[in-house]
Amino acid sequence: MEITFSDDFTTSKQTPTGARCDNTLALFEVRGFTKMRFIFDGCAWDGNLEHDYFYHHATCPVNILRCEEIFIDGNSDPHGCFRLIKEVFITGPSAMPYDDAMQMLSDLARTHVSNESVDNLD
């Protein structure tokens, strides 16, 4: 069995694997610009939030920000420009209510002290 996804630009087919996918909210900061933080919609397969590699190295920020293209120092494929601070479930067995998750991540975005040594906004 295949499921077809399409929009105005692309069509793709995927075969279901039987893995459970739960929605998450994830708080990120921009490497080298750590006072800039975002809360993104995410997902976790089979209840696993241990996917730092996916966010830090494998994901192009174009996919997360849903924009046409991003350039960092002339690089139009700048993987690894975000750092995951915290991710929480908003669906599934260990889910937080959406409003509670947004409040917690918003509070954390205001108060989190980055462990990155360079902060370009100072």
Segment among 7-11, 22-26, 38-42, 107-111 with least mean pLDDT = 7-11
Output the DSSP codes for 53-109. Answer: HIIIII--HHHHHT-S---BTTBSS-TT-EEEEEEEESSSTTPPPHHHHHHHHHHHH
Residue 49 is predicted with a pLDDT of 73
Residue 19 is predicted with a pLDDT of 75
Kindly report, residue by residue over 67-108, the tens digit of the pLDDT: 888 888 888 878 878 888 899 999 988 899 999 999 999 999
Q: Indicate the pLDDT class of residue 61, thresholds 50, 70 and 90.
A: confident
